[in-house]
Chains A and B, each alone.
Chain A
Amino acid sequence: MNILEMNQIKKAFGDNQVLKGISLSVEKGEVVAIIGPSGSGKSTLLRCATFLETIDSGEIAYMGQKAAVTGQNGHAEYVSSAEMRKIRGYFGLVFQNFNLFPHYSVLKNVIDAPVSVQKRSRQESVEEARALLAKMGLSDKEESYPYQLSGGQQQRVSIVRALAMHPEILFFDEPTSALDPELTGEVLKVIRSLAEEHMTMVIVTHEMSFARAVADRVIFMDGGVIVEEGRPDDVMLNPQNERTASFLSRFTE
């Protein structure tokens, strides 16, 4: 059973047809990198997958449970909000600009949702949060507030915050784009270590060498469609489509 199943997803903003029928399925333990030019719809795809945008038509299912289906009339319909709440628990999302809660300490940022959304015990959540923070090299930061951390540290906290919810799959939308170049490495390292632990992930990124190194599958999107996908070496070293080739050539100096 696939963790995520997206079928024929269409999404328009007004007249702008941003996703033109995208299908994406992700297996357990798989790491998928999505690359493509600006405006190709990568963020929109992730936002549809995480229910931050509603799709116009198509199907979305997590763990075999349907979240959105499209019937005879061609319009997508979402399941009840109770079911949606359950399905939300299957995924986590790491934002480009972290979106940590500035009024919460690092520890509170990490444990608040497990405690107040998932109703897990506070003590267990704290212990787990400390272990995760230690793993990410943030042990000494649990009492800090987000503004006291570097961008790289904030992004690592936001990854911990997502992991603390025990998601089946984790989405990343350009997790290093808001960071100074010297800070991207520490975040990529953390994501890579998650990949080694077979965390299921979908990562939108402009870091080509990272995508090649960490992904099991690379998807090249352009103009709201998947132009090419396959093993990283195949897609990135030997692209079959001319648009893929021209996009990639911009990254090889």
Chain B
Amino acid sequence: MTFATMVSQLAQGLLVSIEIFLLTLVGSLPLGLLVAFGRMSKFRPLRLVVQVYISIMRGTPLVLQLMVVYFGPAMLFGWSIPRFSAVILGMILNYAAYFAEIYRGGIESMPVGQYEAAEVLGYTKSQTFLKIILPQVFKRILPSVTNEVITLVKDTSLAYVVSVMEMFTLAKKIASSQTTLMPFVIAGVFYYIFNLVVAVIMERMERRLSYYR
């Protein structure tokens, strides 16, 4: 296999990695906010359930979680989930837990005076949250979100456990069939570039929010 073929096959895989990355973000960023609400709920049973969910998601390896999502239903009920969907579902569930904790930290760090000023001015609870609190929370948590997003780029490679043909899985396959480590080197470079792009985008967002302190 020529170098150019390797690169082009891995580039195909990179597209799948990017797909996993984007779908995971689109799912876990909003879900994380819901989970954060559950975690802060006044209703104790809900709070406990969410707390257990978060602690499992953060306390066990993501690889294992992906395996459970894919193989679990098949073993228990004989349901087979498409590999790709299983990966997306597993990643979303995992990342939502991390994002939830980040949201919660951001929301709890907001000074009570912001809520009180809004209340006295007559804003409804949802107006207060959407107009006053959430925009400020986004700014506060952006650095932590950036960290997670960069980790996510690398975590897309974990899809190999259920043999989704993303870049890392392909690299492994090519490497063993061609007996060369070159695919890993190329994949490493691709991941690095992927993350550079992500870092630039996140930095832009941070700069966009730097008009106030």
Contacts and interface: CB of A to CB of B under 8 A. Distances in A.
Interface of A: 50-52, 85, 88-89, 91-93, 95, 97, 99-103, 112-113, 116-118, 145-147, 161, 165
B132 interface: yes
Contacts of A146: 212
B3 interface: no
A27 to B, nearest CB: 22
Contacts of B122: 85, 88-89, 113, 117-118, 165
B115 to A, nearest CB: 9
A248 to B, nearest CB: 31
B114 to A, nearest CB: 6
A225 to B, nearest CB: 26
A186 to B, nearest CB: 21
A101 B117 contact: yes
B131 A112 contact: yes
A129 to B, nearest CB: 14
B120 A103 contact: no
A102 B212 CA distance: 6
Interface in B90-141: 111, 113-114, 116-117, 119-123, 127, 131-132, 135-136, 139
Contacts of A101: 114, 117, 132
Given A91-B120, A99-B117, A103-B135, 17 more contacts: A51-B119, A52-B116, A52-B119, A52-B120, A85-B122, A88-B120, A88-B122, A93-B120, A99-B114, A101-B132, A102-B213, A103-B136, A116-B127, A117-B123, A118-B122, A145-B213, A147-B212
B131 A116 contact: yes
Contacts of A113: 121-123
What does DSSP make chain B's interface, helix, strand, loop or mixed?
Answer: helix
Given A95-B113, A99-B113, A145 B121 contact: no
Contacts of B139: 103
Q: Interface centre among B111, B113, B117, B139, by most A CB within 10 Å?
A: B117
15 contacts: A85-B122, A88-B120, A93-B120, A95-B116, A99-B114, A101-B114, A102-B212, A102-B213, A103-B135, A103-B139, A117-B123, A117-B127, A147-B213, A165-B121, A165-B122
B211 interface: yes
Contacts of A99: 111, 113-114, 116-117
A93 B120 CA distance: 7
A67 to B, nearest CB: 14
A117 B121 contact: yes
Nearest to A117: B122
A51 B116 CA distance: 10
B74 to A, nearest CB: 48
Contacts of A145: 211-213
A8 to B, nearest CB: 24
A103 to B, nearest CB: 5
A161 B117 CA distance: 10
A29 B132 CA distance: 33
Nearest to A81: B124
Q: Interface centre among B123, B131, B136, B212, by most A CB within 10 Å?
A: B212
A97 B112 CA distance: 12
Contacts of A116: 123, 127, 131
A97 B113 contact: yes
A52 B131 CA distance: 20
